[in-house]
Amino acid sequence: MRGVEPAALETAFVHPSAVHEGRASSSYERLEFLGDAILGLIVARWLYRRYPDASEGELSLRKSSLCSDLALAATAERLEFGELVVSGGGLASARRRLSVLADMMEAFIAALYLEIGFERVAAFVAREHLAEREKSVATLDDPKTTLQEWSQRRYAAIPLYSERFEGPAHDRTFYAQVAVNGEVLAGGSGPSKKEAQRTAAAAALDVLRERYDDLAPRELSAPVSTPRPKPGGGSRRGTAA
């Protein structure tokens, strides 16, 4: 990428386990914190412009889908970030690797932002992540959101989650259970608290769909059309990332 020194991006690929084992002095954790906020703003602005007829609820679901660990990991894998990671013993399983790839994607976005600024990073994210992921979105029924909306509609109460974790700080597995109206419906696990809750919510929805018929997928808004260039017109210039 023009204007970027490769050395400025190296920390984005250092897993915390490499620091714990003395192979590096700092990991991607601080960059990940910044990248999460930058990504959220980029995605929110992109969705606001692209889906002018979408409700706030739909925009939130779309944002959640595009910013999920699964989506970020898919983009990081396509960009072959996994080949660049510096780690110790923290990548023992494929399940953990998904979380690591997502963390590195956020860290990389932050590192780019610090080097080339917000607009060029936004162009990179739109091209390499948002446009690609939008093609593969089949549903926006985020399990946690769907379960909460249903629970509030039926019981005027929100689902309650309980969590625990096992393992060292750099390689934890989280476990969650979810209860609705006082009944524990299901449990789940994952490499983060959020993913464990999401898995538990998805399992709970499977249970509820066996009992009730009011959990149908929502209808989605159409994106704004991409303007076609006028015949004989000059080429459009955009911001290069």
Q: How far is 149 from 60, CA to CA, in rounded Å?
A: 13
129: its two tokens = 């992540």
Confidence check: pLDDT of 101 > 80: yes
Q: What is the pLDDT of residue 235?
A: 39
Lowest mean pLDDT among 14-28, 46-60, 92-106, 198-212: 92-106
Confidence check: pLDDT of 94 > 50: no
Q: How far is 189 from 224, CA to CA, in rounded Å?
A: 38
Q: For 161-199, what is each residue's pLDDT tens digit?
A: 999 999 887 778 999 999 999 999 999 998 888 889 999
Q: What is the pLDDT of residue 227?
A: 40
Instruction: Band the pLDDT of 141: cuts 50, 70, 90.
Output: low
Greatest mean pLDDT among 13-27, 93-107, 115-129, 153-167 lies in 115-129
Q: What is the pLDDT of residue 86?
A: 86
Q: What is the pLDDT of residue 148?
A: 85
Confidence check: pLDDT of 241 > 90: no
The percent of residues above 90 in pLDDT, for the chain, comes to: 45
Instruction: Band the pLDDT of 3: cuts 50, 70, 90.
Output: low
CB 147, CB 205: distance < 8 Å: yes
Mean pLDDT of the 25-47 span: 96
Q: What is the pLDDT of residue 96?
A: 58
21: its two tokens = 């084992």
Confidence check: pLDDT of 152 > 80: yes
Domains and CATH numbers, the chain: 6-136 (1.10.1520.10), 143-211 (3.30.160.20)
| Order of strands across the sheet that contains 160-166 | 160-166, 173-180, 183-190
Q: Which residue has the higher pLDDT, 16 or 238?
A: 16
Q: How far is 215 from 164, CA to CA, in rounded Å?
A: 29
Describe the chain by its helix, strand, coil percentages, rounded to 5: 55, 10, 35
Confidence check: pLDDT of 230 > 70: no
Greatest mean pLDDT among 65-74, 112-121, 153-162 lies in 112-121
Q: How many CB atoms lie within 10 A of CB 176?
A: 24
The residue written with tokens 């780019």 in the block is 112
Describe the crossing of helices 143-155 and 56-66 by its angle, rounded to 10 degrees.
150
Q: What is the pLDDT of residue 56?
A: 87
Q: Which residues are catalytic?
A: 36, 106
Compute, in degrees rounded to 10, the torsion defined by CA atoms 140, 142, 145, 147. 110
Q: Which residue has the higher pLDDT, 43 or 7?
A: 43
Q: How far is 40 from 192, CA to CA, in rounded Å?
A: 18
| Buried/exposed 79-105: b ≥16 CB within 10 Å, e otherwise | bebeeebbbbebbeeeebbbbbbbbbb
Q: How far is 206 from 196, CA to CA, in rounded Å?
A: 16
Greatest mean pLDDT among 21-25, 30-34, 64-68 lies in 30-34
Please state the φ and ψ torsions of residue 147, each to the nearest 5 degrees: -65, -40
Q: What is the pLDDT of residue 19?
A: 85
pTM over 0.75: no
Containing H/E element for 206? helix 193-211
